[in-house]
Amino acid sequence: MNIVIITGLSGSGKSTALKALEDLGYLSIDNFPIRLLLQFLEEVEESLENKKVALVMDIRDKYFLKEYPSVFEILKKKKYNFEILFLDARSDVIITRFNQTRRIHPLMKEGSKSLKEVIEKERELLRDLKEIADLIVDTSDFNVHQLRNEIFRLYRDRSSDRALIIHLIGFGYKYGIPSEASFLFDVRFLPNPYFVDSLKPLSGKEDTIKKYLLNFPETLKLVEYLESFLEWLIPFYYKDNKQYLTIGIGCTGGRHRSPAIIEILSQRLKEKYPEIEIVKTYRDIEKDVYHQ
């Protein structure tokens, strides 16, 4: 049975993520009490046909923060196949979302000084949980539809026998660093197709850009280095039974160089590690679109 526990900051999009997983066939329940988790899983393990469960668990449950460490440890001992999906977002974005929806933050009590204050308090309360999360998704730059698409990208065609999932995120440094990445690689030193008139309108996903970059020895050396680094790193993730490895690859705007390197690297990884699932996200690829 595959179990996804969705948690994270209030206003980060947990309900949207849950609905997306429901559309992918998961039995989905919001605001699930931590004290019922073990009993619930025992009940549905035999009766659930598709063996996929998604549960939102967060600070709305007054027992959650205190009891999740022991409950999650029991799940591990009982060999349940579960993962923690932690949704995060910048405080200014969460404030805007609460103002737009006119919802009240779960920690907002009479006498609270500001919404920003309770958001930072929640962030601190969830710090330890975020550190043990299998997958962190920063939803700051996503609208509802984009977040749904991102969840689809991460969980569609998920196979329970996948040994590891490598999530490659292409981004532009001028739009900010993806906070969910465990490792960041800066490829701004590569020749920039943006300054070649015939290449400027294209994106790094296209063969023309990839072929252009592969003509330079520094590109070949970079890809060789990334392959070597991952060859060294992956055994440690296997050893620790980690399910996700998230890597950010950034250029200036996120349209040309970083997507191209992701395309080149992912193809080589698929050939070398057929048992590993490669997920690609091009976060900023449409932000620097050039129109002639």
CATH of the domain at 33: 3.40.50.300
pLDDT score, position 26: 93
Rounded average pLDDT over 266-291 = 86
Residues 150 and 169 in one domain: no
Share of the chain above pLDDT 90, in %: 75
Residues 277 and 136 in one domain: no
Q: Domain boundary at 155, 178, 206, which?
A: 155
Q: Which has the higher per-residue pLDDT, 61 or 49?
A: 61
Q: Which has the higher per-residue pLDDT, 109 or 210?
A: 210
290 within a domain of the structure (yes/no): no
78 within a domain of the structure (yes/no): yes
Contact indicator for 194, 256 with CB cutoff of 8 Å: yes
Question: In this model, does residue 140 exceed pLDDT 90?
Answer: yes
pLDDT score, position 221: 97
Residues 131 and 216 in one domain: no
Range of the domain at 194: 165-282
138 within a domain of the structure (yes/no): yes
pLDDT score, position 161: 52
Rounded average pLDDT over 198-216 = 96
Q: What is the pLDDT of residues 20-58, one digit of tens each?
A: 999 989 999 999 999 999 999 998 988 877 789 999 999
Question: In this model, does residue 230 exceed pLDDT 90?
Answer: yes
Residues 9 and 144 in one domain: yes
Question: In this model, does residue 143 exceed pLDDT 80?
Answer: yes
Q: What is the pLDDT of residues 113-123, one digit of tens each?
A: 789 999 999 99
Sorting pLDDT into bands at 50, 70 and 90, what band is 289? low
242 within a domain of the structure (yes/no): yes
Sorting pLDDT into bands at 50, 70 and 90, what band is 172? very high
Residues 121 and 183 in one domain: no
Contact indicator for 149, 228 with CB cutoff of 8 Å: no
Contact indicator for 193, 213 with CB cutoff of 8 Å: yes
Residues 87 and 172 in one domain: no
pLDDT score, position 167: 93
Residues 99 and 240 in one domain: no
Question: In this model, does residue 157 exceed pLDDT 70?
Answer: no
Sorting pLDDT into bands at 50, 70 and 90, what band is 103? confident
Residues 38 and 144 in one domain: yes
pLDDT score, position 292: 39
Q: Domain boundary at 155, 184, 209, which?
A: 155
Q: Is 81 helix (H, G, I), strand (E, B) or coil?
A: strand
Long-range contacts of 217-220 (CB under 8 A, 24+ apart): 218/189, 218/190, 218/191, 219/190, 219/191, 219/261
Residues 120 and 44 in one domain: yes
Question: In this model, does residue 227 exceed pLDDT 90?
Answer: yes
Nearest to 86 by CA among 249, 246, 267: 246
What is the value of pTM for the model shown?
A: 0.71
Residues 228 and 145 in one domain: no
228 within a domain of the structure (yes/no): yes
Residues 32 and 131 in one domain: yes
Q: Domain boundary at 155, 189, 222, which?
A: 155
Instruction: List, as one string, the DSSP characters of 94-138.
Output: HHHHHHHHTPPPTT--TT---HHHHHHHHHHHTHHHHHH-SEEEE
Rounded average pLDDT over 191-208 = 95
Sorting pLDDT into bands at 50, 70 and 90, what band is 291? very low
